[in-house]
Amino acid sequence: MQTDSYKTIKYPVEGLFKEKGSKFLAFAWPVQNEDEINEHVEAIKKKYHDARHHCFAWELGIDGMNFRMNDDGEPSGTAGKPILGQIHSHEVTNVLVVVVRYFGGVKLGTGGLIQAYKAATADALSKAEILECTIDKSFSIRFAYDMMNPVMRVVDEEGLGVKDQLFEADCRLTLSVRESKFDALVGRFQQTYGIEVLKEDK
């Protein structure tokens, strides 16, 4: 099983669920860090300041350890948890979902709330275009100009990303490769006479 790839959503999407007069507006974004997450949450709270609740959940990374849920005044476990559950059900990460609730005057009960937040989130994520991403690592190599052809052959064969390049008498390339291939590829360059691996970056 590959541990250096993950799925996320490509663009922001919106969803909607209505129940007994209450309206649940769901907003989902692809995110990379907590600063982005906080900006989106604050923007939604400002835009929908007249709503009673702004509940959310998010997850970052692929180890399942970096996530947060917020019920924003709803009974514990009735909002953030079902939102996060839908993120997991759709098998995506690096995603934030905020669900804004306008109260319709009729209480939905614990089960009704869980179902409503789940349904609103599912409606949004069902519209998302899924993007598969790889976790990449980078490194630099240095070599003489006459080694250009064998170096570029490896770059083409392995489908490496070229992040930076300098072609002079003393050439230098900064390359990126998916994490699972990193050690083998660095080893391949190290075993080729005339190629020096300069550094290994995260």
Distance, in Å, from the CA atom of 186 to the CA atom of 150, rounded to the nearest integer, reads 15
CA–CA dist 183, 21 (Å, integer):
57
pLDDT tens for the chain, residues 1 to 202: 457 889 999 999 999 999 999 999 999 999 999 999 999 999 999 999 999 999 999 999 988 899 999 999 999 999 999 999 999 999 999 999 999 999 998 999 999 999 999 999 999 999 999 999 988 889 999 999 889 998 999 999 888 989 999 988 889 999 999 888 999 999 999 888 889 998 655 4
According to CATH, where is 3.30.70.100 located in the chain? Answer: 135-201
Q: Using one digit for the tens of pLDDT, what is the confidence trace for 42-74?
A: 999 999 999 999 999 999 998 889 999 999 999
Evaluate whether 31 touches 95 at the Cβ level (below 8 Å).
yes
State both tokens at 132: 């598969």
Q: State how far the alpha carbon of 28 is from the alpha carbons of 69, 173, 177, in Å.
A: 14, 38, 29
CATH 3.30.230.30 maps onto the chain at 5-132
Short-list 113, 37, 104, 126, CA closest to 82:
113
Domain 5-132 has CATH 3.60.60.10: no
Sheet holding 95-102, edge to edge: 13-19, 22-30, 95-102, 53-60, 66-70
Domain topology for 135-201: Alpha-Beta Plaits (3.30.70)
